[in-house]
């Protein structure tokens, strides 16, 4: 599969609407992990889809129209986001310049007066420290009756997850997601395993997919771990946005998200 075929067959839209056949899905997933352009478009459209999910009260006709318009202004959205990021970086650099110049200029003092020593200031944690990931907790849920293919693959994969063998859990979670693409738990733990296995790009895709599904049980954690993924990529502005969304949900991750935001402001 190549970019031209993705565009002509509207593969991105069909993938997001879960209308692809399994062979096409596998081909597209293989393609977008190797194609920066298609991967970027997928991330952007998942972000728009997640934002639309936050307004469930919108009439169905208006929401459908808004969804179509969202795709139309996706390139403009990306351009504005990039310009904003550059502007923030430039402004921050300008603010830092005077203080850096002041600190580099030699201090003058009369020989008769001894200046008091300045106590050492605490240094802010590095991005690597803030991006450190603890595995999300998992408790096995026992289902009554026979398991379908997706739940069977998920249960087996999570046995490896519980043993902290995240790389080994990924294939089983991929099978579970293919069997039931709309299961938030399957998508969330697949994204978490990719993140724990230091495969940040696919982690972002599945965490965004979790958010777009709108399941309250996983929304907060998905925003929080998505922020961690962006910190790993050193994309501070995107990480801060996800941390703010985590705080707004007032769940168990809110306090930790607020602390990371404070550290990022230092």
What residues contact residue 44 under an 8 Å CB cut-off, 6+ apart? Answer: 74, 77, 78
Give the integer Cα–Cα distance in Å for 221 and 158.
Answer: 17
Domain ranges of the chain: 3-72, 129-265
**Extended beta strands in the chain, E state:** none
Per DSSP, 182 falls in state T
Q: Name residues of the chain where pLDDT drops below 70.
A: 50-124, 142-146
Is the Cβ–Cβ distance between 195 and 229 less than 8 Å? yes
Q: State residue 123's pLDDT score.
A: 66
Instruction: Give me 250's structure tokens.
Output: 């007032």
Sign of the torsion angle spanned by Cα atoms 134, 135, 139, 141: positive
Sign of the torsion angle spanned by Cα atoms 188, 193, 195, 200: negative
Is the Cβ–Cβ distance between 169 and 162 less than 8 Å? no
Which CATH fold topology does 129-265 show? Answer: 1.25.40
Q: State residue 5's pLDDT score.
A: 85
Give the integer Cα–Cα distance in Å for 223 and 184.
Answer: 13
Give the integer Cα–Cα distance in Å for 246 and 97.
Answer: 32
Half-sphere exposure of 141 (CA within 13 A, CB side): 9
CA 113 to chain centre: 55
């Amino acid at each position: 599969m190549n970019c031209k075929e993705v565009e002509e067959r509207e593969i991105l839209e069909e993938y997001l609407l879960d209308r692809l056949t399994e062979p096409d899905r596998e081909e597209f997933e293989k393609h977008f992990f190797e194609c920066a352009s298609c991967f970027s478009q997928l991330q952007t459209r998942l972000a728009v889809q997640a934002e639309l999910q936050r307004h469930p009260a919108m009439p169905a006709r208006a929401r459908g129209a808004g969804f179509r318009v969202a795709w139309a202004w996706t390139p403009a959205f990306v351009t504005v986001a990039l310009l904003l990021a550059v502007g923030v970086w430039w402004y921050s650099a300008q603010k830092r310049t005077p203080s850096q110049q002041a600190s580099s200029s030699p201090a003058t003092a009369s020989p008769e007066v001894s200046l008091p020593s300045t106590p050492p200031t605490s240094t802010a944690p590095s991005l690597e420290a803030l991006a450190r990931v603890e595995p999300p907790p998992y408790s096995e849920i026992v289902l009554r009756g026979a398991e379908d293919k997706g739940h069977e693959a998920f249960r087996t994969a999570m046995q490896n997850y519980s043993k902290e063998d995240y790389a080994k859990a990924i294939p089983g979670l991929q099978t579970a997601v293919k069997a039931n693409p709309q299961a938030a738990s399957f998508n969330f733990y697949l994204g978490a395993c990719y993140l724990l296995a230091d495969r940040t790009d696919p982690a972002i895709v599945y965490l965004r997919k979790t958010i777009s599904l709108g399941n309250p049980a996983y929304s907060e954690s998905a925003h929080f771990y998505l922020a961690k993924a962006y910190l790993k990529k050193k994309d501070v502005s995107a990480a801060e946005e996800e941390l703010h969304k985590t705080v707004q949900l007032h769940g168990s991750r809110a306090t930790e998200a607020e602390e990371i935001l404070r550290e990022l402001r230092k």
